[in-house]
Amino acid sequence: MPAPQQIIQDPDMSLIDTIYARRSVRGFLDKEVPQDVLNRIFEIAQQAPSNCNVQPWKVYVASGALKNRLRDEMVTRMQTGVTPNPDYDYRGDFENEYRKRQVDCAVALYNEMGIGRDDKAGRMRAVLRNFEFFDAPYIAFLGMNPKFGTTVAIDVGMFAQTLMLTMVAFGLHSCPMGTMRNFPDLVREAFDIQDGTKILFGISFGYEDLAVPANRTCTTRDPIAANVVFRAD
């Protein structure tokens, strides 16, 4: 007789609360998430909207020995100067107010980590933390069919936001990571991806380690007037 299926009790946390509670966490506990909880989180995220309901996202979640192997291979490549070979070019030439926000975010993070402006070793160590997945027990790689362009990539982004908010509701945290596009060949090999799926970015996730200084980082948001225009005529 099969074991009875565990009933998942969905949290009562409101959507608004999860939106305000979500942030990029850069330090995680070495603690597994029950598989039924993971299944429920991704089941909820699957409800994200997409153009014509094509649901273009492909998600590959590594944990355990596979996650550790990917971590070690990525760290080694970074330390030995292997040139990244992303499927998609990173276009992050921020200027004016966008550059200011980028700098403010970096300053807030590095201040919490005790990394000074001229601390090159510290900054390099901070970069490597990305490829260590911030010690997260899980790393998800998100991609899509190579025939899709930027319009469909927006759908993958909406899925990712839905996923990260759902994680918060279940007591988890995450960090979306553009650096996880750097070595897509490792991802395709690890998951035996045969359909040519291109990797857009990654998300490390798990239970937050409150003792990690980087997790004290706070960023702000501009008033909506900086981004939103209302007109009626």
**What interhelical angle do 120-131 and 96-113 show, nearest 10?**
90
Counted residue by residue, the chain has a size of 233
For the four alpha carbons of 11, 18, 142 and 176, in that order, the dihedral sign comes to negative
Distance in Å from the first CA to the final CA of the chain? 67
Q: Which whole number is the average pLDDT over 58-77?
A: 98
Report domain extents, the chain: 23-77+133-217
Q: How far apart are CA 233 and CA 231, in angstroms?
A: 6
Whether residue 162 is predicted with pLDDT greater than 50 in this model: the reply is yes
Q: How far apart are CA 160 and CA 141, in angstroms?
A: 10
Give me the mean pLDDT over the 126-152 stretch: 95
pLDDT band at 6 (very low <50, low <70, confident <90, very high): low
Average pLDDT over residues 73-79: 97
What is the phi/psi pair of residue 144, to 5°?
-160, 170
Give tens-digit pLDDT for 81-124. 999 999 998 877 899 999 999 999 999 999 999 999 889 999 99
The number of beta carbons lying within 10 Å of the beta carbon of residue 109 is 19
CATH topology for the 23-77+133-217 domain = NADH Oxidase (3.40.109)
| Residue 1 pLDDT exceeds 50 | no
List the beta bridge partners of residue 61: 140
Q: How many CB atoms lie within 10 A of CB 199?
A: 24
Count of helices and strands (H, E) across the chain? 7, 4
24 has pLDDT over 60: yes
Q: Say how many C-beta atoms besides its own lie within 10 A of residue 53's C-beta.
A: 7
- 40-49 residue pLDDT tens: 999 999 999 9
* Spatial CA neighbour of 154 closest among 166, 138, 142, 165: 142
Q: For all residues of the chain together, what is the average pLDDT?
A: 94
Of 140, 156, 158, 159, the closest CA to residue 148 belongs to 156
Pick the residue with more confidence: 146 or 6? Answer: 146
